[in-house]
Structure 1
Amino acid sequence: MSSFVGRRQELVQLRSALDHAREGRPRIVLVDGPAGIGKTSFVRRFLAEAGETCLLRASGEAAEVPLEYGVLDQLMAQGQGEPYGTAGPLVAGSALLDRIGLLQDGPPVVVVVDDAHWADVMSLGALTFALRRLRADRVLAVVVVQDAGDLRLPEGLRRLLCDETTLRLRLRGLSAAEVRDLADRHGGLPLTAAAAERLRAHAQGNPLHILALLEQVAAQNLQDVHRPLPAPRSYALLVEETLERCAEATRDLVRAASVLGVSGSLTTAAALAGIDSPLAALEQAVGMGLLQEHGNGSAHTVVFSHPLVRAAVYQRLGAARRSRLHAGAAALESDRVQSLRHRAAAAVGPDERVARQLALLAADEAGAGRWNTAADHLIQAGRLTPAGRTGERRILRAAEYQLLGGDIAQAEGMTETLETMTATPQRQYVLGRIALASGRRERADRLLTQVWREGDRRLARRAAEQLAWSCLARARGAEAAGWARRSIALSPRGDPAGLRDALALAHGICGRFEEGLALVAAVEEEASHTRPELLDGLVARGVLRLWTDDLDGARHDLTRAASARSGLLHLGPMATAYLAEAEYRGGRWDDAIAHSEQAVSLATDSGQRWMRCLAHALAVLPLAGRGDWEAAEAHAEASATWSRYLCDASNTAYAALARAVVRHARGDCAAVVRALAPLRGAERRDGVDEPGVMGWRELLVEGLVRTGDLAGAGAVLDEHEELAERRDRASALASAARLRGLLAAEEGRREEAEAAFELGVIRIKRIDQPLEEALLHLQYGAFLRRGGARRQAAEHLQTARGLFEHLRAAPYLARCRQELAACGASVPGEPPAEPLGLTPQEYAVARLAAGGLTNRQVARELVLSVKTVEYHLGHIYAKLGISSRMQLGLRLA
């Protein structure tokens, strides 16, 4: 008889979410609540009543947390994690997204991940990546956890589960009426209302505890409200009492099964329990609600009815019996890793032999790039190591592996333990890396500098490397270069690729672009060997090319780097963000919007907090230019939030720039000046003040001119122009000429203004930056119109109009049309907001589809699901009145 009661409102909400998914509106549902509250039963009931669906189901298991991609394997039905290798959760997530997309031709897809808090980190990262990219998919994703804020869940998944678009179903205790219903279904005497309320209050409505009490307490005792109920017992005691009513063989089988985990082979459990014919014992255990039976024949698997049941049985074994059973399981287990796990659990006190084998296994896992699994093995090894430095070294290395695996929260959680250890350089180095990863940079600098001074050659080199990247992230170019050189000097292999890139970027933000580019000039040849670490040089060279106006070269390098996600988990978001900026500067705003949103998503999914401010700031640029105020403002606010978290000169500048760009597009010059106020008057900052890097000075000068602060504008412009001339930075010189024209015109020096604008027209030919060219012609035309030269003004304004229309820069186009109307020139009708009436996402899909890519290839290129691509193509065909890719190509042409 079913013991499921209540949850009517939650079931209605979940069914409604499934209805949305059937219509191509994907939904994510969080089901959470304390252990034993009935989350799994609730989902089972929903699935039983859901009708036809395509179900992908998986569940986490505490003993399998170190098994990388164990949960993802269940969803993918592959049976093992090896096919993902060291690709990382982003690539594995793309594979999951691809599988989900291909399953949607029939009934809607329902993805259920039960006990997600016990899932491995890599699977959760892949799941997060896939769920964030559901757009028009017929998919319902149900994630079951005890607590959505559980630190065992990756930051990106926690944020997704707590997002306002996610339906949260928090299961709480049963009501008194539902307790009565549960008692009726259980087959006992009907409870009175008073007895039901007493039982509800006693068990706090927990159905698992209530069922246990209904099982354990006589019906008359439950009914008699004057007879006190038993004192609250631990769940382990209730389970143990149930177990004690079983036959001896059944008890032995259940206890042996608890050593194997929540699930395990019946054959192995029986051998461990010493039972030749286990089916009768299994039948009784199932009848008592302790175990469930899966499979048949030789493939019998026993599964505990709830993880708490297994935990209760396991905890009540007693130390001697637990050790003996684990030792027996180790002897029966053919898998080396599982056998070693049982040997470790069987150990009574320190066991250096087992600890050493765990450490060797960790080294193998680390060599294959499975950092989180390696860390788990080392932590266990550390606990089994006799007191002393060896155990501490193993724990320290485990924390470092967690950082390398991106599990920053777990590494931070070890800080208190690490601080109790001997204050060796190794400990200081690991604590410094944790501080750096978590944004506590002053502490990181102090610890890492101490390691540089006191550590051995190897540790000093690694500390210097971390200090180089720390300084680089804060736009301290000279310091970054100095630390990179120190680390390179200590490297036994000369010039490591990663340090070469740090040094190249350090030269760049100091204005020594030629030196920086020379360091990465040969990266093309090296990258052809497909070694991922050598692809890092493409990011450095791409960024330097972007800053020196080589937009074609920048797009080439950054496109390759951004697409190589499996080898660039730490730089992929950076490459994608700067690729979006290169496309923005080059007038490819549709691509820029797509890639900037992708960069934000990648930085979020991979937990790279250091990239969040930059990614959001660069996402603002094309959105503000298009007049998409809601999206632009949201990214600008997010950039400001992350800049306050990171608190350094570079991120402060990017956040200020993001706010200023939105205000400039809106035409609010006073707000531009206010937004950039934090950047004024400071000593020169590497990168921040470099012409061609950020461009905040250009916005400030225009804002000061238009708000009447001509002296302030002149001072800023003089400094900016002088440095741009020294660098021979074409883009900065072109904008400087435009701004010089604006300033001279406002000061009444018309001849100087006209000469400056004409110089800008000459300089703009050296670069291919449509927005800057359009602004030049707009402002030159406005200047000429005010001087009465309407015919000449109209020519410049028509040029500007054409460029703005190509960019679909609606706010600037509106100003240009006003100027044309003031000239008396004919103004054509308003162009559509998007080309051919398509949205940016539709236009991106259309271009790739018309270029010959299949739906699956388009999905992979844009990191969407196949179903989303199909959805967009359906809208595209309907809008354009076509029915084939050939017709689409002709329309776009």
Structure 2
Amino acid sequence: MEVLADPPAFVGRDRELSVLAGHLALARAGRSQVVVVEGDPGSGKTALVQAFLDGLDPNTGVLRASGEEAEELVSYGVVEQLARAVDRVGDAGPAVEVRPADEPPVVGAVLVALLDRLRDRGGPVVVVVDDGHWADVPSVQALVFALRRLGSDRVLTLVAARPHDGGRIDRLRGLASGDRGRTLRLGGLGVDGLVALGRALGAGELPPPAAQRLLAHTGGVPLHARALFEEVDPALLRSMEGPLPSPMSYAVLVLGRLSQCPPGARAVVAAAAVLGERSRLTDAVDLAGETGAEVVAPAVTAKLVTIGPAPDGTALRFPHALIRAAVYHDLDLADRMALHARAARIVDAPDEVLRHRVAAAGGSDRGLADELRALAGEQVERGERSRAAATLISAAGLYPDAADRTRGLLDAVELLVLAGERSRATELARAVPGGRSAHERFVRGLLAFTAGRTSEAEQLLLAAWAVADDTDPGFRAGVCDALCHLYYLQLRTTESVEWGNRALAVDPRQSVSLVTSLALAGRSIAPTAELATAVARGARLLWTEDHAGARTELAGAVTALRAGGMFVASLHAQGYLALTQHRMGAWDGAVADATEAVALAEDAEQDWMLARLHSYAAMPHAARGEWDRADAHVAAATAAAAATGLPLDRVGATVAAANVADARGAHTRVVELLGPLAERAAGRAGEPGVSNWPCMLADALVHLGRPDDADRVLAPFERRAAELGRRVALTAAGRVRGRVLATRGDVIGAERALRDAADHARGAGAEIDVALTALTHGALLRRSGRRRAAADALGAARAVLDRLGARPALERCDEELAACGLTPTRRTAREPGALTPRELCVARLAASGMSNPEVAAELIVSLNTVEFHLRNVYAKFGIRSRAQLRGALRGADDG
């Protein structure tokens, strides 16, 4: 049997349809748009979206998905619906596997690739997510990430949702603003709209006074008004005599309609309400104790339910969630529990069986609670943290013992924190009874940590440790590692190392926080196979100056971590990779990786990482003399550091600003920025491989005529670099030492220091440092009157600086050569710096032999975005092909 409900009448909303048409026009022109259609239940959100879709050109590809209350905790349920819709609308591509354990940006990248399959259809693509207030949070996060990666793509995204959704789609609302879209709020229909609705429903022409009364009675809510038109005699509505029925509660009308159905139909509707907004018709009939699908026909005629085909058999649905709610909550509690108990024996999915058993439970049930905890463990293994948290909450309510209930709720809070759902975690934490257990203090400490309340987090974590003697070793290691990370971010390196070592006593693997804390504290970082991650191994290699090894380890880590769904960890690796390449003088790569990491962190809303990533991005731009870009990154790093309030971020932003000032030759500014760091260091030297800011400060002091002050800053750095054999650090220190000695008139000592610096640079394979040392040596030789030797040193330096595009250093070199009486040959080729960082990144990948789809996959952008950037690159270089692009980039590199 198949009985379909009549399509709902749609009237009015001309303004709203016009707004949607305008955003579609923008999307069609290559400006991706997002519109959130927001309204209370029954306001006609779905009807508006459907009316808009009905008027679309056939060439428009439409992808539809919908949130469901019963599946709001199923990770990536909405994304999987969209993936299936892509296969229906476009050419079927390779199978897409979305794993619950994947982080949202990884799944967002899959969405971008899926949308690219539809780019050749000839029309725009409209992505529709109905009932967004029930969409699972990971899908929303993945969708936001994907939409932010769509640049010049012809995509319009419509999300229909209620205004009060607990913040579930706030990120989409934030995206639907400015030139990217808007939030379209639906109110009730006006008098004219209600008159038109009555006419469309066959109730005749409603006089304006009667329509005004109906408006006052229903608030113009289409669902409520439609129910009255269908329930009340049209003559009564028009007559203005007697009161209208009292359906300010919509449930009154629903239940009145239900009461007119035969007992069998009523029983099936009640059973369906217990099963959910959607169920299999056979399950509902079976649960009701009826036989034959025809029994539900009167309820379909009464428009209480609809029936239609579905992949798992004929589906029974409620036309609106309010109808199901009215039926479900009208059931006698005992009857409802009995139905849930029988439903547990009918449904197939294990999760659904347990859901019904929980609803059927009349009180405590330790056995069922233990089953739910076991299920939560399986969900965690699959990466379904949000779903596992909900399962633990259900389990907590079934435990007879208060301690067990509290434990379950705390575990749920911790899972929500790890899932990035801080608002839900905070709300749940308020419901946890206060106590003094190690577990509670630890969980509340994590929550404070993620909210940026570091002082509170420290107190809670220390309190957790103080009473953790009898806890599981893994728990104690977790407390120690959290404190190690907290102190690392606060640059309290001694305490960070202490707590990291305590964690090692339980779990013999070093974390990134411990590795970097050891470096900052100047402690030895011994090579070990027990570093927890590739990022930790890459950090150790970076801080110990094995730059080639660090680049290999970190580049592999970026690829592997993203393939494994660990997106946030991949951003750490990519940031370190950018810093590594900057130090090697591979500035194009540094710019590309840092710019990409910043964009990805912004799109994934990982704001807490931005200070460090912007700091890394500023430095290669400064080395190339791209002042506007360098200044923009410094400003962004400074703002991000102010937002987090973390000392590590503030120091990183300060050092980045000093790099820019140093490249400009703004020595006074360098001293202003780095002088306070030297005062706090009080002559103590950390790992020289972490940063050479003491060399920058000492160099600036020399230029300002303060060699003694420079010596006090430089000497501890030199000694520590010599103790550890850090050749790159010794090179930088040697250049400054040469200047200090020259300022004091010790030319012989200065030359000796510079020759030693050159030896260190060559031994480290640091080409940029060889060139900078030759520049410093050439300047010393010129000033001592040995122009021929100076010209040789400066010429060798210039060849490297010119090839690397180190414009500030190159300009200083040219000034020295001019003072020697030589005129350097100027570059004539267009430089890569003429391109934006994103254009340069796209150009280099394209020139390497990658196809456009491969470039899009590598950068996690759409194919349209890659083509847009390539068109700009071709125009700037005045070329038309990839072969010419390779030549243009070689010409820019070779000069």
TM-score by length of 2: 0.85
In the alignment, what sits opposite 1:508?
519
Cα pair 1:460 1:487 within 8 Å, conserved? yes
Could you tell me how far 1:182 is from its partner in structure 2?
3.8
Deviations 1:59-100 (A, max 9, x none): 111211221221121111299997525343343333222222
Cα pair 1:594 1:862 within 8 Å, conserved? no
CA 1:201/1:760 → structure 2, altered by over 3 Å: closer, same or farther?
farther
Deviations 1:24-75 (A, max 9, x none): 4433333334433333222222222231222222111121122122112111
In the alignment, what sits opposite 1:529?
none
Q: Distance in 2 between matches of 1:807 and 1:18?
A: 46
Q: Distance in 2 between matches of 1:500 and 1:876?
A: 41
- DSSP 3-state at the match of 2:679: coil
CA 1:813/1:297 → structure 2, altered by over 3 Å: closer, same or farther?
closer
* Percentage of pairs with the same residue: 38
Q: Distance in 2 between matches of 1:212 and 1:748?
A: 97
Where do residues 291-690 of structure 1 align in structure 2 (5 Å cutoff)? 291-295=305-309, 299-418=313-432, 420-455=433-468, 456-458=470-472, 459-489=475-505, 491=506, 495-497=507-509, 499=510, 502-513=513-524, 516-518=525-527, 520=528, 522=529, 536-565=532-561, 566=564, 568-569=566-567, 571-604=569-602, 610-626=608-624, 632-665=630-663, 668-676=666-674, 679-683=677-681, 690=687
1:58 equivalenced with 2:65 (yes/no):
yes
TM-score by length of 1: 0.86
Could you tell me how far 1:554 is from its partner in structure 2?
0.6
2:107 to 80, 83, 92: 92
In the alignment, what sits opposite 1:39?
45
Aligned amino acid, residue 517 of structure 1: A
Moved more, 755-764 or 300-309: 755-764
CA 1:598/1:847 → structure 2, altered by over 3 Å: closer, same or farther?
closer
CA 1:391/1:786 → structure 2, altered by over 3 Å: closer, same or farther?
same
Q: Distance in 2 between matches of 1:298 and 1:407?
A: 33
1:109 equivalenced with 2:120 (yes/no):
no
Q: Distance in 2 between matches of 1:414 and 1:831?
A: 64
Residue ranges of structure 1 left out of the alignment (5+ in a row) = 524-533
Could you tell me how far 1:396 is from its partner in structure 2?
1.9
Aligned amino acid, residue 521 of structure 2: C
Q: Distance in 2 between matches of 1:779 and 1:225?
A: 96
In the alignment, what sits opposite 1:152?
168
CA 1:839/1:599 → structure 2, altered by over 3 Å: closer, same or farther?
closer
Could you tell me how far 1:884 is from its partner in structure 2?
6.3
Q: Distance in 1 between matches of 2:822 and 2:500?
A: 59
In the alignment, what sits opposite 1:258?
273
1:69 to 51, 63, 76: 76
Q: Distance in 1 between matches of 2:556 and 2:744?
A: 48
CA 1:662/1:634 → structure 2, altered by over 3 Å: closer, same or farther?
same
Say what the alpha-carbon RMSD is for the aligned residues: 3.9
- DSSP 3-state at the match of 2:526: helix
Aligned amino acid, residue 589 of structure 2: D
Q: Distance in 2 between matches of 1:31 and 1:137?
A: 21
CA 1:20/1:666 → structure 2, altered by over 3 Å: closer, same or farther?
farther
Aligned amino acid, residue 543 of structure 2: W
Moved more, 626-635 or 435-444: 626-635
Q: Distance in 2 between matches of 1:144 and 1:276?
A: 37
- DSSP 3-state at the match of 1:86: coil
1:124 to 115, 137, 140: 140
Could you tell me how far 1:363 is from its partner in structure 2?
2.0
Deviations 1:459-504 (A, max 9, x none): 4343223222322333333323322333333x3xxx443x465544
In the alignment, what sits opposite 1:528?
none
Deviations 1:620-664 (A, max 9, x none): 223444555565445434433442343333222012223334444
- DSSP 3-state at the match of 2:64: strand
Could you tell me how far 1:729 is from its partner in structure 2?
2.7
Residue ranges of structure 2 left out of the alignment (5+ in a row) = 1-6, 88-94, 891-895
CA 1:301/1:659 → structure 2, altered by over 3 Å: closer, same or farther?
farther
Q: Distance in 2 between matches of 1:182 and 1:331?
A: 44
Cα pair 1:451 1:463 within 8 Å, conserved? yes
How many residues align? The count is: 868
Cα pair 1:37 1:206 within 8 Å, conserved? yes
Deviations 1:664-708 (A, max 9, x none): 455555444444465342246999x54231343344445555566
Cα pair 2:74 2:384 within 8 Å, conserved? no
Cα pair 1:429 1:451 within 8 Å, conserved? yes
Aligned amino acid, residue 650 of structure 2: T
Could you tell me how far 1:442 is from its partner in structure 2?
2.4
1:49 equivalenced with 2:65 (yes/no):
no
CA 1:209/1:461 → structure 2, altered by over 3 Å: closer, same or farther?
same
Moved more, 351-360 or 880-889: 880-889
- DSSP 3-state at the match of 2:127: strand
Aligned amino acid, residue 342 of structure 2: G
Moved more, 52-61 or 760-769: 760-769
Cα pair 2:102 2:383 within 8 Å, conserved? no
Q: Distance in 1 between matches of 2:809 and 2:130?
A: 51
Q: Distance in 1 between matches of 2:260 and 2:84?
A: 38
